[in-house]
A and B are shown apart, each in its own frame.
Chain A
């Protein structure tokens, strides 16, 4: 029998006993604790990675939000400025228009007043002229004036006055 292939049942039994003992001891004091430990560590790593990921997304969200707010604020500021400009322009225009309208009113008023004054002055002048002409006529006619002459004179005077009136 080849010594390399001889069955040695004693060695076989010893191998079984020793291997099973080693298996038992290592299982209890090495493999199970190590596997538990590795699993826990991997869980820890996965958790912290997840946390980092969520923190990152949160940060991005916050960044987005702040950008949005900033943009909104910018936009609002712009609209406020443009609005106020528009309003200022409007009010300026209104004030100007008002002023124009008032000055026009004043002008019209003044014109109409002037017209009235003018008319009154003309009327007064006319009355004065009539009075004067009457006075003049009486003075001239104190001497003897025929009726004819008188009428004639009155008529012509009146016509003159009428012509004057028509002129003015």
Chain B
């Protein structure tokens, strides 16, 4: 994650926070340029009346995170489809090591989450969504922990001299270090949006359009209370996806920032106190980073589980209204 960066004599201690933020944040430039995407972005934005200098300009360019999204989705789809199709079509039906793990998660989510919260009858139609959220988020989290693009960075430094290719070169941008897509609030907000529409759809499917919105507030309350309960419930409706968004992004972001700050101790010590201090602090710094990486692995699974669990809970709440 850091090898690709140029950490040299110009490093000072106060650069560390910005350095960590740059690492986690999306790239400002596109790593691939496609003309049709640019024109599509302009058309889409002008449809909504957004100018190119607007904060909400819809730029469909392939930034670092969009590229990573493609990468993650490719890994998720190829891994799961290969494993599951192989497992099902095999005559003996004995799961291999990876399939056992997938099956463990699938059965656990089905029996303890989906059947529990969504219901024995309704769970089948919502299971694919919850499973996809779990594995998509899980793979996003874990692939963020594997420094794939730091390896490309290392190769870039030694092999093709990425720095010399210019700042706009794809290889240079790709070699700037690995990142977690699920640390980007826009990505998590997109998944939370799907959860949001899923639990509204679940309620409408079960009760019809009007009854579903009536279900928001419990019936049989004294009339004045409705003036309090209805706004609270309505706000809750939108707070749910927002909480999902910030929980996942915040968790992934925080972990990675802390991880980088630990590593920058070495640079800071070297810059401020000399090379010997850098060597002295390295074991301490690395063991902290190692411990935190272990913790991040745990957090990666837990946050994926929490996202999937809460999606199931919200869908279940819309289906089983009796509070």
Q: Which residues of A are in contact with B by a Cβ distance under 8 Å?
A: 1-16, 18-23, 25-27, 29-35, 37-38, 41
Contacts and interface: CB of A to CB of B under 8 A. Distances in A.
A16 B59 contact: no
B194 A20 contact: yes
B106 A8 contact: no
Contacts, number: 130
Interface of B: 21-22, 24-26, 41, 44, 55-61, 63, 65-66, 69-70, 73, 76-77, 80-81, 84-85, 87-88, 93, 103, 106-107, 110, 124, 127-129, 131-132, 135-136, 184-187, 189-191, 193-194, 253
B105 to A, nearest CB: 11
Contacts of A3: 21-22, 25-26
Nearest to A32: B128
Nearest to B69: A18
A5 B189 CA distance: 11
A22 B73 contact: yes
A73 to B, nearest CB: 49
A25 B77 contact: yes
10 contacts: A4-B25, A6-B55, A7-B55, A11-B186, A11-B187, A19-B73, A23-B129, A26-B128, A31-B132, A32-B128
A14 B66 contact: yes
A15 B65 CA distance: 9
Given A11-B26, A19-B194, A26 B85 contact: no
**A contact patch SS:** helix
A161 B61 CA distance: 173
Contact of B73 (A4, A11, A21, A34): A21
A161 B22 CA distance: 173
Contact of B61 (A10, A29, A31, A34): A10
Contacts of A1: 55
Contacts of A22: 73, 76-77, 132, 136
Given A30-B84, A34-B106, A14 B25 contact: no
A16 B59 CA distance: 14
Given A16-B194, A33-B88, A26 B55 contact: no
B107 to A, nearest CB: 7
B60 A38 contact: no
B46 to A, nearest CB: 13
B297 to A, nearest CB: 22
Contact of B185 (A5, A20, A30, A35): A5
Contacts of B184: 8, 11
- Identify the 8 closest CB pairs spanning chains A and B, nearest first: A15-B190, A27-B128, A3-B25, A10-B59, A31-B128, A11-B186, A9-B58, A12-B186
Nearest to B131: A31
Which of A7, A14, A37 has the most C-beta atoms of chain B within 10 angstroms of its own C-beta?
A14
A93 B117 CA distance: 88
Given A4-B185, A19-B191, A22-B136, A35 B127 contact: yes
A53 B218 CA distance: 47
A103 B190 CA distance: 124
Nearest to A4: B25
Contact of B57 (A4, A9, A26, A30): A9
A19 B58 contact: no
A3 B106 CA distance: 36
Contact of A10 (B41, B84, B127): B41
Contact of A7 (B103, B124, B186): B186
